[in-house]
Amino acid sequence: MTSLTRLRSLRGTRVAASLAALAIAGLAAGSGVAAETKSVAITQIVEHPALDATRQGVQDALKAAGWEVGKNLEWDYQNAQGNVATAGQIARKFVGDGPDAIVAIATPSAQAVAAATRDIPLVFSAVTDPVGAKLISNMEKPGGNVTGVSDLSPMGKHLELITRITPDAKRLGVIYNPGEANAVALVDLIEKTAGDYGMTVSKAAATKSSDVLTAARSLVGKVDVIYVPTDNTVVSAIESVVKVGQDADIPVYAGDTNSVGRGAIAAVGFNYYDVGYQTGEMVAKILGGANPGDIPASTVEKLELYLNPGSAKEMGVTIPEAVIADAKEVVK
């Protein structure tokens, strides 16, 4: 073979290799997913059904976008078990690992990650007040490396539901963890809104899950109804509040629909799976090359009514048929 022939052959091989590479890239582009594997680390402050549903929603949204665990997505999940110090340790570990994105479920976990990195994309989920928590300065233009989905409760809708089921309730009891920024923001909102519905507010603090039962008992004789906001500490032990409600004939309402299946008599709110799915769609954009600071932070507008007539009966309440007719789900 002459030198010229060998040169032409070599050039042909290179062209063929280039065309093959372009074809592979084209297939990847057509599917909307890069050929290489990406990594997502997810940190959650505590285990309870609402936050677990959020995490599942994130994973399902990523799969729908073409990012599947075990194929082209590495997934590292860590739970802080309600301990803020542990959340900080998880955040620092994740930053050291250098994933393509970090998802933080609930305010304490998101704050821990935000304190640990300004470079790795952070997508928060189920954070009540991301501006108040100093995660972002603006919902529409988050800037920096952070965006996400807020679960700010529609407090007017919650109090309206309470008046529909228990119209004579005038004294509202709220149990919360004053160490959670999201809980403090919610209690402030409750106090600002309750007067519009002719209610006064009594607060009971629980700084850890084991304090929830004592906090609930402290409200007996002082309140007509108890409201459990989307406070991670209290929701993780809502069965304790339900027990007090049943023993003392005090109706227990919740800020998240998952708590209705655990004994709260009613809640109008988000399906936390939807909160997670919306979060996962943001993460998919980031894995595709989007800048998190350019993605507006959002809230979930879809509301659903969940009712538990059996639990209501144990607390001395009959839910009106007109309310039952509006329900998305009635727990049997």
**What residue ranges of the chain have pLDDT lower than 50?**
1-32
Question: Does 52 map to a domain?
Answer: yes
Is residue 239 located within the same domain as residue 209? yes
Domain carrying residue 42: 38-151+271-299
Write out pLDDT tens, residues 16-31.
444 344 333 333 434 4
Annotate 246-258 with b (16+ C-beta within 10 A) or e (fewer): bebebbbbbbbbb
Is residue 50 located within the same domain as residue 137? yes
SS3 79: strand
C-alpha dihedral (296, 58, 228, 232), degrees to nearest 10? -100
Query: What are phi and psi for residue 150, nearest 5 degrees?
Result: -90, 145
Q: Which tokens hold the place of 90? A: 């998880």
Question: Does 17 map to a domain?
Answer: no
pLDDT at 20: 40
> How many structural domains are present in the chain?
2
Question: Does 308 map to a domain?
Answer: yes
Question: Does 126 map to a domain?
Answer: yes
Question: Does 210 map to a domain?
Answer: yes
Write out pLDDT tens, residues 145-191.
999 999 988 899 999 999 999 999 999 999 999 998 889 999 999 99
pTM here is 0.73
193: burial class by Cβ within 10 Å (0-12, 13-18, 19+)?
middle
CATH assignment at residue 58: 3.40.50.2300
Is residue 56 located within the same domain as residue 105? yes
Q: Are 155 and 306 in contact (CB under 8 A)?
A: no
